[in-house]
């Protein structure tokens, strides 16, 4: 496709001569027929040596390259440009005879079901849905248009997906929540009879888990993106456009507002409420409700800046203890009185 066509399609400014482009690649690897991109000034030196046919840049950097597509939002236009050249993964289409599709399932004739996928009774698969091998779609599930289940995804019974939901391989939606009552002879399972509802444009990462509610619904709001190995427990409600980064976990019945970011390996306790636009730093542990716009870190979580200063100060603590001990001796000497030794532990 011509640079000029790409420019026209996405409202970009073409700087330099027009040429045919057949892909997108990083600066180090792009060839003369490929487009590359430049965002991080740290890599400015690569602009000198790149063989890329053209570079997508912001206005501030347009002068650095001879042939450029100039953008007001480089990341966003990169997403669009890569989409032009991206091949879908997988090359099967139609309903495989090696799949199991229940008689009572309702599968669009524009859906794809790979070999070894299982589609249960009363499921509804909209047009454009693709179900890869090894997926299990339990009874009474609903998959909106263009949903994409990569291999070995499990949707247990009653799961409802909006449109354009992407689920990476191995993710499990609708497994039982972790609910047990204490009986005289040990833990007694509370059957988990609720469901999971997932909004439009959600993406869920590889080997993540979203549990069904005990009685009601576990909900992931539209536009929310979950990374790999994330845990969402029963009855949780996640708002719209949140980002849940790899290996974080949200415990039972907690609520997240819209645009919340939970960074990698962070944990949210059960039954807490996080407002909109909350950001939780990596590995933080949140045990209390957080107001809109909070930015927290540490375990238990505190204001992020306080956490950074406090944890930086931590390495000075052993020496501080010695300094306080010296001060106490000085004071004793100065005041000529004996301090109470037993409190100096």
Query: Contacts with its own copies in 227-286 (CB under 8 A)?
Result: 227-229, 231, 233, 240-241, 243, 245-247, 249, 251, 264-265, 267, 269, 282-283, 285
If the CB atoms of residues 17 and 28 are measured against its own copies, the closer one turns out to be 28
Marked catalytic residue, from 102, 234, 304, 344:
234
Is there binding between residue 47 and its own copies (CB under 8 A)? no
Tell me the C-alpha distance between 111 and 68, whole Å. Answer: 39
Say how many residues make up the chain: 345
Residues 308-327 that bind its own copies (CB under 8 A): 308-324, 327
Buried b (16+ CB within 10 A) or exposed e, 212-246: bbbeebbbbbbbbbbbbbbbbbbbbbbbbbbbbbb
Confirm or reject binding of residue 186 to its own copies (CB under 8 A): yes
Taking the complex as a whole, the smallest distance from the CB of residue 60 to its own copies amounts, in Å, to 18
Residues 107, 196, 211, 294: which binds its own copies (CB under 8 A)?
A: 211
Decide: helix, strand or coil at residue 89: coil
Which of positions 21-40 make contact with its own copies (CB under 8 A)?
Answer: 24-26, 28-29
Closest to its own copies by CB, 63 or 274: 274
Instruction: Give the CA distances from residue 150 to residues 123, 169, 337, in Å, rounded to whole numbers and listed in that order.
Output: 18, 5, 76
- Total residues at interface with its own copies (CB under 8 A): 127
Residues 113 and 136: beta-carbon distance below 8 Å: no
Name which of residues 63 to 122 contact its own copies (CB under 8 A).
Answer: 73, 75-80, 82-83, 85-87, 89-91, 98, 100, 114-116, 118, 120-121
What is the Cα–Cα distance from 19 to 41, expressed in whole angstroms?
26
Contacts of 243 (CB under 8 A, 6+ apart): 224, 225, 227, 260, 261, 262
Active site residues: 234
């Amino acid at each position: 496709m011509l640079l000029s066509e790409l420019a026209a399609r996405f409202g970009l400014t073409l700087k330099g001569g027009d040429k045919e482009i057949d892909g997108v690649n990083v600066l180090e690897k792009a060839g003369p027929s490929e487009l590359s991109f430049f965002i991080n000034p740290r890599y400015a030196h690569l602009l000198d040596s790149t063989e890329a046919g053209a570079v997508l840049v912001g206005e501030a950097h347009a002068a650095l390259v001879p042939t450029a597509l100039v953008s007001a939002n480089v990341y966003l236009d990169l997403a669009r440009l890569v989409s032009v050249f991206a091949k879908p993964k997988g090359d099967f289409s139609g309903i495989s005879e090696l799949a199991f599709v229940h008689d009572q399932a309702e599968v669009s004739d524009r859906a794809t079901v790979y070999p070894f996928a299982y589609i249960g009774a009363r499921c509804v698969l909209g047009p454009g849905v693709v179900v890869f091998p090894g997926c299990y779609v339990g009874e009474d599930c609903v998959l909106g248009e263009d949903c994409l289940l990569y291999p070995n995804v499990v949707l247990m019974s009653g799961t409802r997906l909006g449109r354009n939901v992407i689920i990476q391989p191995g993710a499990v939606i609708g497994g039982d929540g972790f609910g047990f009552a204490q009986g005289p002879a040990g833990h007694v399972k509370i059957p988990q009879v609720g469901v999971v509802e997932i909004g439009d444009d959600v993406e869920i990462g590889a080997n993540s888990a979203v549990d069904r509610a005990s009685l009601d619904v576990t909900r992931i709001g539209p536009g929310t993106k979950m990374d790999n190995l994330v845990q969402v427990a029963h009855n949780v409600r996640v708002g719209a456009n949140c980002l849940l980064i790899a290996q974080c976990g949200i415990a039972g019945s907690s609520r997240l507002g819209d645009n919340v970011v939970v960074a990698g390996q962070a944990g949210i306790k059960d039954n807490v409420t996080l407002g909109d636009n909350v950001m939780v730093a990596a590995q933080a542990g949140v045990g209390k409700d957080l107001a809109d716009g909070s930015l927290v870190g540490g375990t238990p979580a505190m204001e992020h800046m306080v956490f950074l200063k406090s944890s930086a100060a931590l390495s000075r603590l052993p020496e501080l203890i010695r300094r306080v001990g010296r001060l106490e001796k000085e004071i004793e000497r100065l005041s000529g009185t004996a301090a109470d030794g037993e409190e100096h532990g």
